[in-house]
Amino acid sequence: MKFGIVAFPSKQLQDLANTYRKRYDSQYSKITPHIKLKDAFEVDESEVESISKTVESIANQYSPLKIHASKISSFFPTTNVIYFKIEQTEQLMNLHKDLNERINIGEQKHVFTPHITIGQDLTEAEHDDIYPQLRMFGIDVKEEIDRIHLIYQLEDGSWTTYETYKLTGEN
């Protein structure tokens, strides 16, 4: 089974992201707007409970995440992905590091760049047309996220929550 670990922002920020995603994101119908904390990884069903307990243990060490979506950015020229940039904080970096060290399954594909994808699988021409327009609108949203989620992929390619963990710690 394929799993991942994410943080879902507030409904308001999800709705804002979805105004762009429904037009520019090929994965719009497959997953809710999110901040990926650990890249997708494959595990046998027998390992899921142990992973879930590890995520719970980590969540119990961290206080709610304070995030700031500060601008619209792009991973171009590496990929034609457009996203809401989430400012890196020590807390977010440490959470990402703990999840990846304690659940050492799968490879991290990219350097951790906290973000919420709003456009992907765009051609270069589409990217070059859309990106400057979206940057003009910008974004400046601060909020707190008090839960992280272990999610898994269904047969149709969509993702759903396996378990939700409340951030209750001091870090």
Q: Is 115 a catalytic residue?
A: yes
Active-site option among 34, 96, 127, 149 = 34
**DSSP string for 105-140:** -S---S----EEEEEBS--HHHHHHHHHHHHHH---
pLDDT tens column, 87-104: 999 999 999 999 999 998
- Tell me, yes or no, if 127 is annotated catalytic: no
DSSP string, 39-106: EEEE--GGGHHHHHHHHHHHHTT-PPEEEEEEEEEE-TTT---EEEEEPP-HHHHHHHHHHHHHS--S
* Tens-digit pLDDT profile for residues 115-150: 999 999 999 999 999 999 999 988 999 999 999 999
pLDDT digits (tens, 9 = 90+) for 42-99: 999 899 999 999 999 999 999 999 999 999 999 998 999 999 999 999 999 999 999 9
pLDDT at 137: 87
Domain boundaries, the chain: 2-166
State yes or no: pLDDT of 107 exceeds 80. no
Which is the catalytic residue, given 68, 96, 115, 149? 115
Confidence of residue 30 (pLDDT cuts 50, 70, 90): very high
CATH of domain 2-166: 3.90.1140.10
- pTM beyond 0.85: yes
